[in-house]
């Protein structure tokens, strides 16, 4: 199953009726903002308020906090998979480094999503598979070009950059980029 097919299967959670879809999208965006600002402890009541809906609407769409987090995670993984496709025309090392930078940006600013990387569920397992499938061709191209150690797997690389993303705060964006560059330099052949 391709990355695109996997993502479309995961997206079946979104309601089809226009008003319900708008509420769903508003809750997802409010959740993204709240979790980015407050981490996984963000209040569901605050998320509903930000979305302009009642708490009942939130629970109708997302019966548990994990359901909301998983949906956010799906959206971020979809963007990460698209980034891998968009970057595939770059030189092998540049494509891999740029994708890993986007990985850290997507995950690092979303503490609840980073916490999800280490949890087990069917959806999160599927999301991990999508991430690995998206990054694998970029890693393989860099390995075939002799730029990356051939013994390194995409799982190794994702775990490495997840560690960079897990740092709770960087003084600035330049520091985050320096730390990421140090980490990914370690995979070079």
Q: Residues 11-33: pLDDT tens digits?
A: 566 777 888 889 999 999 999 88
168 pLDDT tier (thresholds 50, 70, 90): low
62 pLDDT tier (thresholds 50, 70, 90): very high
Minimal CA–CA distance to 32: which of 61, 74, 60? 74
In degrees and rounded to multiples of 5, residue 188 shows phi and psi of: -65, 145
> What structural domains and CATH numbers belong to the chain?
3-185 (1.10.357.10)
Mean pLDDT of 105-114: 61
Q: What is the pLDDT of residue 174?
A: 82
Could you tell me where the DSSP H helices lie in 62-121? Answer: 65-87, 92-108, 111-116
Which of 37-41, 87-91, 162-166 is the most confident on average? 87-91
Q: Is 185 exposed, middle or buried (0-12, 13-18, 19+ CB in 10 A)?
A: exposed
Q: Is 82 exposed, middle or buried (0-12, 13-18, 19+ CB in 10 A)?
A: middle
Q: What is the pLDDT of residue 9?
A: 47
84 versus 171: which is more confidently predicted?
Answer: 84
CA–CA separation, 163 and 182 (whole Å): 12
Q: Residue 153 pLDDT > 90, yes or no?
A: yes
Residue 81 and residue 3 in contact, taking contact as beta carbons nearer than 8 Å = yes
Mean pLDDT of 118-136: 80
Q: Residue 108 pLDDT > 80, yes or no?
A: no
Q: Over the chain, what is the mean pLDDT?
A: 83
Mean pLDDT of 75-84: 85
Percentage of the chain beyond pLDDT 70 is: 83
């Amino acid at each position: 199953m391709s990355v695109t097919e996997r993502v479309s299967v995961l997206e079946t959670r979104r309601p089809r009726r226009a008003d319900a879809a708008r509420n769903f999208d508003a809750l997802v965006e409010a959740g993204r903002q709240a979790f980015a600002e407050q981490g996984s402890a963000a209040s569901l009541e605050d998320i509903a308020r930000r979305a302009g809906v009642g708490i009942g609407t939130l629970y109708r769409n997302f019966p548990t906090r994990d359901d909301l987090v998983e949906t956010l995670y799906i959206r971020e993984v979809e963007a990460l998979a698209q980034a891998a496709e968009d970057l595939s025309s770059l030189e092998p090392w540049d494509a891999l480094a740029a994708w890993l930078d986007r990985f850290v940006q997507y995950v690092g600013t979303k503490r609840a999503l980073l916490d999800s990387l280490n949890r087990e569920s069917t959806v999160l397992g599927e999301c991990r598979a999508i991430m690995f499938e998206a990054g694998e061709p970029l890693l393989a191209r860099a390995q075939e070009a002799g730029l990356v150690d051939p013994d390194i797997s995409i799982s190794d690389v994702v775990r490495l950059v997840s560690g960079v993303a897990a740092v709770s705060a960087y003084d600035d964006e330049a520091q985050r980029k320096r730390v990421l560059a140090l980490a990914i330099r370690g995979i070079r052949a």
